[in-house]
Amino acid sequence: MLNIAILAYDGCMGAEVFGFADIILVANRIWAFRRPAEPPPFACTIVSAGRVNVTVAGGAIVQPVPSPHHADLLIVPAFDFARASDIDRVVAGLGPEIAMIRGAAGKHRVASVCGGAFLLAEAGLLAGRRATTAWAMAETFMRRYPTVRLDPKAMLVRDGEIITAGAFTAYADLALAIVADHAGAAIARAVARFSLIDTARSSQAPFFDKEMMRRPATPFAREVEHWLAAHIADRYSLDAAAAAFRLSSRTFLRRVKEATGRTPLALLQGIRLDQAQRLLETTDLGIAEIAARIGYQDVPSFHRLFQRTIALTPAAYRRRFRGGIG
């Protein structure tokens, strides 16, 4: 039996605590249905770093077990925050939790969901390791923990005894991975079907919201973005773009890189792919016509760039996201 402890603390995301626990419960129920003579594969407990009562982000009050002494695996959920600038304050207030995570290293396997990776990194568990976190928090994470090899596109990353999962509902992906590891792939598939969990997603990239990821732009960066968007279908020319701003190509390249962190061509490719995603979501235009509208006459090249960046083919992206909510 795998003993799982889920860390609860004030302001943590309740769905990541309760949702993970419920998926493990479903796995035990399905196991009992299929193998009634065998003991359940999992025991799951909600624990704290010595806190008697915990109020999760949604307002529910939890009475956790004081510590995870007998756990084989410690799960660390994310925390609520309103702005990226809040993260420093939130993490600074979680000293007991970070100390407990640090103490768990070497004694238990450890996994995080979403922003829980910040607490693992703060505890020193991720230095030099591969990891992921919520895509919306990736830039802040990389600034805080430059020695961590972060893959913001990954849904799950395993590095030794540590697993990190992506944004919010990736608690389901993490739970299914653990079920598959310890109860077998057949049980994990049954849990996914019973729970209506999409097991086809393997990357966070298709879910990136570029507006939420956008850093505060300088007036120059905004002007360059507007110019590139207005010339989205034109053949790219660094000289032409530089001339539009009365700059040499070298100076234009340097100023764009300073203002945006990207080259003008990378900036244009991002703008083109954003527009391609919108057209795939909201129109019936063919793939070739969409490619032409955003400046790609070579459809295979557009297809390869889209799949490499978004982690889905254009057709698969349309099937998944066409129509939206409502």
Q: Is 114 a catalytic residue?
A: yes
Same domain, 203 and 235: no
Domain assignment present for residue 112? The answer is yes
- Of 26, 98, 114, 187, the catalytic one is 114
Q: What is the pLDDT of residues 168-204, one digit of tens each?
A: 999 999 999 999 999 999 999 999 999 999 888 888 8
Domain assignment present for residue 146? The answer is yes
Last residue of a domain, one of 161, 184, 207: 207
Last residue of a domain, one of 184, 207, 230: 207
Helix (H, G, I), strand (E, B) or coil at 186: helix
Domain limits for position 49? 2-207
Question: What's the first-to-final CA gap in the chain, in angstroms?
Answer: 43
Whether the Cβ atoms of residue 173 and residue 166 lie closer than 8 Å to each other? yes
Residues 35 and 191: their CA atoms lie apart, in Å, by 14
Q: Give me the pLDDT at residue 320, please.
A: 84
Lookup: tokens for 118: 């910040």
Same domain, 221 and 250: yes
CATH of the domain at 245: 1.10.10.60
Q: Number of folded domains in the chain?
A: 2
Same domain, 69 and 168: yes
CATH of the domain at 198: 3.40.50.880
Strands (E), 67-191: 73-76, 109-113, 130-131, 149-150, 156-159, 162-165
Ordered DSSP codes for 274-310: HHHHHHHHH----HHHHHHHTT-S-HHHHHHHHHHHH
Same domain, 193 and 238: no
Give kind and range of the element (H or E) at residue 288.
helix 287-293
Percent of the chain with pLDDT over 90: 78
Domain assignment present for residue 73? The answer is yes
Same domain, 132 and 256: no
Give all strands of the β-sheet with 109-113 in edge-to-edge order: 42-47, 2-7, 73-76, 109-113, 162-165, 156-159
Q: What is the pLDDT of residues 33-68, one digit of tens each?
A: 999 999 999 999 999 998 889 999 989 999 998 877
Same domain, 303 and 169: no
Alpha carbon distances (Å) from 272 to 187, 230, 309: 42, 11, 12
Last residue of a domain, one of 207, 223, 243: 207
Domain assignment present for residue 326? The answer is no
| pLDDT of 325 over the 60 cut | no
Domain assignment present for residue 134? The answer is yes
